Each structure stands twice: as structure tokens, then as C-alpha cells.
Chains A and B, each alone.
Chain A
Amino acid sequence: MADLVLDTVTKRFGPTTALDAVSIAVRSGEFVSLVGASGCGKTTLLRIVAGFTRADRGTVSVAGVRVDTLPPHRREIGFVFQSYALFPTKTVAQNIAFGLHLKRAPKREIAARVAELAALVRLDDITGRYPHQLSGGQQQRVALARALAPGPKLLLLDEPLSALDARIRAHLRTEIRRIVEQTGVTAVYVTHDQEEALSISDRVAVMDRGRIVQEDDPVSLYRKPQSRFVAEFLGESNILPARSDGNGALIVDGLGARLPRPAGLPVAEVYAVSVRPESVVLGNGGAGALAQGRLVSADFLGAAVRLRVAVDGIAELTALCPSVHWAKSGVGAGGPVSVHVAPEDMAVFPDTGAAGA
């Protein structure tokens, strides 16, 4: 078990800057996810930590020791590849035992460890098979077991589930979480599936064009995005323009809401407020309504209904309402509605325009 510290790691491929002075610290035993759009540098970051690629600048330390000058085979870092990269000429058991063989561990020890890991990933009955005789999900588990077998200080997983279909994915991600927790290894997990990241991580770092734009625990990250990019990348969001009233408060345009300025908010000319659709509560008038609008459309999604509301001053708001509540309200399209948002459900940040995403 060890912690991982990256300090201003930079990597260029010709004209592209894959990583732009990235710094991040992962605590020992922590499960951190990296999310971001395709091409934002997630894989590059992992490969630099593993030692497959060299950074142009910056340092990588594991357990307080700099590893960036070490070749990958001396770093004791396990890696799970998107394509699994199982050795096709070796059986499941031989794949798992590969690293142990290299350490010249005694035969009996190897056999015991292979059995232990095969049990951990629930593959004990097919250790004699070759990779091409396995399903995608099974290959994935073998790759995980192989990476864990030598007892790495750190486990890196690069979109390990992206080649699988949605149903298996949901199941396997909890499996991965369980296995990582059981072994207690520090893990960095790359995905571009935000739901996956939010559901299994202790902490999530959002990347955009070679930079980490925000890192936090999943709930804070979701509830308090600190930029338009994060707000839009993680789930759906209503972004509303806001401005300072010069008296330490913020005015959300259109909603007419006045918020106390959050502590630590950087000074900027324009601000934006993010409101999650499920935080937008509709009613028929009543106290505390922020604004009045008209219902434009209602899309039934099963568990919830997606409502589009036209509000004076802002183009449109999206609200998500549990369908059981919606059924009782009886409002039809074109009907008047009042809009309610609790102040704590609004996240404020300086608006840099519709960059990214």
C-alpha cells in the first residue's frame, strides 16, 4: 500500500499537449477515478505513472520514493489494460502466475497465490483455459487477477470495462470495487463513464485537455461543480448566468434569486450557476417560488419525467420530477408553473463561457 504523488507532470506529443502540468495526490488505499472526454490525457497519465511513457517534465512518487527514473518492471505497479492484453499463448493460471514466476517464487507458493486470486475474481473453475476461450468479462477478471498477483503497491486501471456491454459493466464495477477493497491496494481508475466513476470512487478527478479541472469526492463533485465544464460533463445541468450585485451577494438572472456569495469564490466579471434538473422543483405558485414559467413539454422516462419549463428572462430550464409526483400534479403542456430551487442546490462559479465539453 502506498500513496501516489504527481507533481506538475507535462507530456507533449509533437504539437499536442497530452498532459499540462498535472499534479495530483492519491492517498494510500484510496480509490481515485480519472474522468474526462476522449483524448484528454487519461491514458497518458496512467502510462506515465506505470513507466510505459516518459514525462517531459514533472515527477512521480510512489510511497514517497521517486519512480519516474525507474523502468516499469522496477516500479511494482499493476496495470489493467483496456484491451486486457492477456498473453494469448498462456492459460489463465499461467497468465496470473507470470509475475510470480519472474520473482522466482517457489512453485507451491505460486500455485497457492494463483488459486487465491482466481477465487478472488471468481474464476477458480476455468484456470486451465486460454484467453480466447473466455468471454470478455472473464478476460477482464483475469487481467485484474494478473495485475494483482505480484502484490503491487499501486493498481492502475485504464477503462477496464469499456469493451463490455452495459449490463456486465454495472455488475463488474462493483466487483472491481470489492476486489480492490479486499486487497486494500491504492487504485487509479480511468473511465469516461461518469456514472461508473461516481459510483465506485472515493474521489474523482475530472480532466479536460491535459489538465485536472476539479477533484473531489463524488457527492461534492456532483453537487458543487466548480466550472461549467464539470457541471456539464458530470450529469445534466441547467447553467444560469449570474452577476455580483456589489454587496457581497449574487443575482441569478431570470430567476431573480439572490444568493449569498460563497466563501472562496474567485472574483470575476460574470458568474454562472449550475442547477441539477432534479433540484428544480415545480409547483403551482405558493411561497418561496423563485420564478414563474410555462410548461413546454413533459417527457415520460419511466421512473422520472423530464420537464421543460420556459421562464421569463432565461430560455428554458430542465427539471426532473419523480413520475409518481408528476402524476398527481395534473399540469398540462402550456400550463403555468412556479419554479423552486433551494439555495444550497445552486453551485456558483466564474463563467468562462461555453468552453470545453
Chain B
Amino acid sequence: MWHRKTWPCSRTPGLPVRDLAGHAIAVAVTALVLLFIAVPLGAVLLESFHVAGPLPLEGLKRITVEAIALIPEEERDEAVQRWVDSADDRQWMDGVAAALELIGEEVPWNRAANYDDQIAAARDAVSALPPDRRAAFDAELPIAVIMLHKRIPLAFAVRDRLDEDQFATLRTGAEERLALDHYRAFLEEPRLQNAAKNSLMLAGLACLLVVPVAFLLAYGVNRAAVPFATTVRFAALVPLVSPPVIMAFAAILLFGRQGVITNDLLDHALGLIDADTDNLYGIGGVVLAQLLSFTPPAFIILDNALARQDGRLEEAAASQGAGPWAVFRRVTLPMAAPGLVRAVILVFILSMTDFGNPLVIGRDFPVVAGIVYDEMIGFSNTPLSAALCIWLILPAIVAYLVLEAAMGRKRYTSAGDTGVATELPVPRPARLGIASVTYLYLGLVSLVYLTVVVGSVTRVWGQDFSLTFDHFRETSSVYGYVASEQGLSSVWQSIRIAAMAAPLGGILALIIAYIIERVRPPGRNLLNFVVLLPAVLPGVIFGVGYLVFFNAPLGMPELALTGTSAILVANILFGNMFVGVLAGRALLQRYDASIEEAAASLGASTVERFVRVTMPMMRHAILLGALYVFIDGLTTLSAVVFLVGPEHDLASVAIFDHASNAYYGLACAKSVAILATVALVMGAMGLSERIARARGRVLAPARRPA
């Protein structure tokens, strides 16, 4: 396994400094990565401080006075008079209030009262003004009326004397500035506060459920406490390649109002519950969907952590007199603590930034990520969304830093026969418990897939269970749903986009790995860091960043990528490239650099060396990197949902739309199509690997003696 052990490459290959091509490519690639990863992420941060707000009175007055001064002298007074005269009573009243504020008087009436009362009150207030204030007031009033209600005619009157921005500011009376308003909104608006509470509660629940389940799975697999451990490990990972929100809508089909378990079984057949009220919508459903979706990634981390554990430590504890429970509590658990922390943080971030599941199954359970989605899609309110994104990852970052600091003291380097599991048996009751949790979880996952497959050929779930293939067809008009989203065209579109991104991603990843490991330019740490950013930052942020930045890259709308398939390809490619880079680096570290030095001594340039020597050796890494990009391209939702244009619908987005609009048949059909594609591609890759291996084309990795 390439990721378990790496053979550190102690020697840096002696590449000549005059190897300019290599360094030039390194610079270009770094620039590319910065542009497509770092800059969009930075744009999110910047955007979150953007406040488009009404100008304060003073500012309004200033631009109004400036604009009036631009009117030709001979027309000016007359125009001003005309605008003031044309103001109706309400507009005049607003002007009075503003003029009073401008001269520093309090507005002596209730601005929220009905207009007639306010107008009367304004008349009284004007007549009650002391004479010395009266002159100042009279001077401000026309300006006040114009700046509040006649700005638009004023703007058009002087349009040719204003630039674009000045005109826009005058017309709208609003301006852009940098401020913390969107962050404050989070603390002040009850709607957001409520959502924040829900998000935190959900993330907490998800952690409480997912991490123990994933840990039990991993523990069972590593300590052979479950039968068929290898199969269990594989099965636990399968949901990683599933389409988005599949868990949520499958849960609805099973446990919803029309769910086969809640409605057909428990309600109609057994009469135990009333499915109309007792169902899984709301937080319960979201938690279930998240449990099923997030257990696999948490499992990966914990499986890795436990597999690395030195079983001798547990044996040492046992020979010291520690029983199975004491061994677990005093050795296994503390040793797994770093992995547990990482799992908790991962699940926390995943849950906090998940909008799909809450939007599909979480009726009346608003969460912050859902609001980000609504604000982006419904209102194009990118600044608020951006600020909310930052809030979303803040708790996780803080938690991470705190835990790192707390655990920093216990950092250690493990040595010895790391990775040899102990043969000490897990006590029978524990084995039973672990096995039941494992098989319950896997049973639920299987049920989900079964439901999706059945759902894809069921006419109307819950009402008409007759067989149909309409959900796969282009032409049928299901419930008058818009034709463009029917059939499998979006699936083909997804495959097309993913198939474009995959080879590019695989090769670019290898180039980057090569640059970091072999060319070793001065900026390689930056390059490495930026490439890994999408691995740790949630997709929502990456999507919002692309939308913000590529709308008008570098302030040039002509370069806009939004709405094109290019932005989708780029997003998928750069968002998932890190897997290929990590795989490539691990492989390069294992291959002896002297193979390339030999090629260099035979006169091969960097580029030739890369193409002729490295690429063939690295076929496996390229394939893995490309496969990951491809699969994620088919299944990702969080980033691309903000980027699809009308002509560039993707299957994952369509599935999400279908599911949120309760067109479960269509969602199931597309999910089945995606799952079939993924299975096909993975099968084909596995086969080609096997054939290549059989032909002996795969070089056995040149291992250095430890």
C-alpha cells in the first residue's frame, strides 16, 4: 500500500541548476495553481467584507451637492426648483426629517407612524422651529428632498458629466465599502442565530454518532473482531463514491411520510404509527443521512490510525496485568487519540458545511449551510454567503488549534514494528457489540442502495409501485416537470465534464508531484500547501470562491468563466487534484532518483526525463489521481452547485434538485446511472491494471533498504 509506508528519499537528485525548463515549468504551474485555488479562496474572504449599503445622509448630501454643481449655471436654479416643487407631501416630509437631521436637530415625531400623521407632525415641527434654526433648515430642505427622492432625475440630468461608478452611486444612493456587517449579521439576525444553533447542534450530534460508529467499524476490522473483516472494510468505503444526497432521499423513501417502512409497513400493515406525523423529516432524518454519508470518510482516518498502531503496545500492557478493557482504555484509545481528533474535526466540518441533506430531508430545520445555499442561489447575495462560509469553518479551525495545542505535548514518533496488529482476542461481548453495529450499519447502507435501485424503476413511490423506465427517458413528461432535467442528458454532461477534468487532473497532479519531489524549486512548499487546501476546506467555499472570482477575474468581466463548462472542469480538477499529487509524491519517494539521474546522464532534459522515464513509472499514480477527479466530478455537489449555468446542468445538481422537489424517481434514476458509470470505470481501471501487471509492465517499486 503506497500510503502506509514511504521510503524517505534522503538524497536530492543532482539536477543541474541550468535546468531552466524545469524551473520555468515550476513557476508556470505554481502560478496556475495559485490562480485556480488560492485566488478564488482569497476572493471569498475579500467578498465577505464587501458591504453594499445606503449612503449615510452626509454622504448622500455630498454627492447630491456635487451633482447639482455640474448642472449648467443657467439651468441649475430652475431645475432645483422644479424638483422641489414636484415633491409630494410624503417626499417633502422625508426631506424635512432629513434636513432636521442635517442641521443637528432631533426628528420630533415617530418615523414609523402612518404617513398622514407624519406629514402633519412635520408641518408642526417646521413651524415650531426657532427662528435662528429656521434659516439653516431652509437651506438644507431642497437638497434633502432632492437627495432622497429626486436623485434619479438628477443623475440622468448630469449623466454625461459622470463616470460609470459616480452615476451608479448617485442613482442608487448606495455604495460599496469594506466592513464587518455580514459577520455582525450572523450575531444579530435571529434567523441566522437560529440556524447557527441548529448547525452546531447537528454537527455535535453527527460527531457523537459518526465517530463512535466509524471507530467501532475500524476497530472491528483491525482487530478481526468482525467476521469477513476485509469485505467489511471494502463495504464501509463504498458510500464514498455515491451521488450526493442519496442517503437523504433514500431515507425519505424508507422513513418519510410515504416511506415503505414508516407508511407501508409500520402504519398500514402493522398500524403501529401514523406515518403522517411519525416520520423522519427534520433533524432526525438529517442526522441519519449524515451518519450514512460521513461514516466512510471518518472510517478512513480511524482505520489508518488503528492499522498503524503497534500491537506490541497492547501486548505489553496485557503482560503488565491489564485486562482487555484496561488495555483498550489505557493504550488503544490514547494511541488513537490523534486520529479521533482528526475524525471529529472532519465530521464537524462536513456536517457544518452540508446543505444537501438538510435541504432535502430537514424540513423546518434551517442550518447555516442551507442559508448560504439560499442566499447564493436565490438572492445572489455573495458577500453574506461568503461571510457565512467563514463562520462555518471557524469553529472547526478553532477546535483544531485548541486540540493541537492540548495534544502537542504528547506528540511522539513511533518506532519498531509499527502496523503489526496484536493477536490478543477481543472479548466475546465486545465482539458481539461491534459486529452488530457493523452489520446494522452495512445493512442500512445496503438498504439505501437497494431503495435507490428500486426507486429508479418505480412509477410513483408510495402510491403506484408499478414498474417503469420512464425516469430514465428523455421524452416522458413526468408531472409536467421541465423537459431539460429529464432523462439522462445531465448524466452525460457530468460524464463529459468529469472525463475532461480527469486526465488533465491526473497529469497535472503528476507534474506537480514531480516538481515538488524532483525539481525542488524554492517555492515548492507554497505549491504543496496550496494544492492541499481544497482537501481541508469545504466545497462550499471553493464553489463560492469560483463564482466570486471568475465572474469578473481581475476586474475584467470579459474573462468571465461563470456559466461555461470550463469553470466546472477547472473547479473539479483543482478541487480534487491533491489525491493525485499525494499518490505521485509517495511513489516518487519510493522510486530511486538515480533512475532519473541515469537518464539525465544519458542526456535527457527535464522534460524528456519526465515524459520518457517518470510518466511510465507513475502510471499508477496518474490513474489514481485521474480516477479520483473523475469520480468526484460525477458525485460532487457542494462546489459545482453554484457554478452550473442553464446549459451546463450536472447530474449531481439535478439529483439534488429532483430530491428537494420530491421527484424521487428521477433522482433515483440518475443516481443509478452515476453509480453504474462509477462501477464501470473502476472495474475497467482495475482490469487494465491487472492486465498490465500480468504483462509485467508495472515496474516493481525499487525499494531502498530501510
Contact = CB atoms under 8 A, between A and B. Distances in A.
B422 to A, nearest CB: 7
Contact of B315 (A79, A103, A150): A79
B312 A85 contact: yes
Interface in B316-347: 316-324, 326-327, 330-331, 334-335
B57 interface: no
Interface stretch (A20-28, A50-58, A290-298): A50-58
Nearest to B427: A71
A326 interface: no
Given A52-B422, A79-B316, A87-B313, A71 B412 contact: no
B277 interface: no
A86 B320 CA distance: 12
19 contacts: A50-B319, A51-B319, A52-B424, A71-B424, A72-B319, A75-B319, A76-B321, A83-B416, A83-B417, A87-B316, A88-B413, A89-B334, A98-B317, A98-B330, A99-B320, A102-B322, A103-B321, A146-B316, A147-B320
A75 B315 CA distance: 12
A150 B310 CA distance: 22
Contact of A81 (B312, B412, B413): B312
Interface centre among B310, B320, B412 (most CB of A within 10 A): B320
A72 B327 CA distance: 11
Interface of A: 47, 50-53, 71-79, 81-89, 98-99, 102-103, 130-132, 146-147, 149-150, 152
B703 interface: no
A71 B422 contact: no
A183 to B, nearest CB: 16
Contacts of A150: 320-321
B276 interface: no
Given A89-B334, A99-B321, A83 B412 contact: no
Given A75-B319, A83-B417, 6 more contacts: A51-B319, A71-B424, A78-B319, A78-B320, A89-B335, A152-B319
Nearest to A139: B415
A53 B421 CA distance: 12
A83 B320 contact: no
A89 B318 contact: no
Contact of A83 (B318, B322, B331, B415): B415
Contacts of A88: 335, 412-414
Contacts of A131: 412
B697 interface: no
Contacts of A147: 319-320
A85 to B, nearest CB: 4
A119 B449 CA distance: 63
B423 interface: yes
Contacts of B316: 79, 81, 85-87, 146
B335 A72 contact: no
A130 B412 CA distance: 8
A147 B417 CA distance: 19
Interface centre among A52, A146, A152 (most CB of B within 10 A): A52
Interface in B415-431: 415-417, 422-424
Nearest to B315: A52
B410 interface: yes
B416 A84 contact: yes
A73 B318 contact: yes
B320 A98 contact: yes
Contacts of A149: 320
A52 B423 contact: yes
Nearest to A147: B319
Contacts of B415: 83
A72 to B, nearest CB: 4
Contacts of B410: 89
A201 to B, nearest CB: 22
B619 to A, nearest CB: 33
Given A51-B318, A79-B319, A146-B320, A85 B423 contact: no
Nearest to A81: B312
Contacts of A47: 423
Given A53-B423, A84-B416, A102-B320, A72 B315 contact: yes
Contacts of B416: 81-85
Nearest to A83: B416
A-B residue pairs, 9 tightest by C-beta: A83-B416, A99-B320, A88-B412, A85-B312, A72-B318, A79-B319, A85-B316, A102-B321, A73-B318
Nearest to B416: A83
Contact of A85 (B315, B323, B326, B413): B315
Contacts of B335: 88-89
Contacts of A146: 316, 320
Contact of B312 (A75, A83, A98, A102): A83
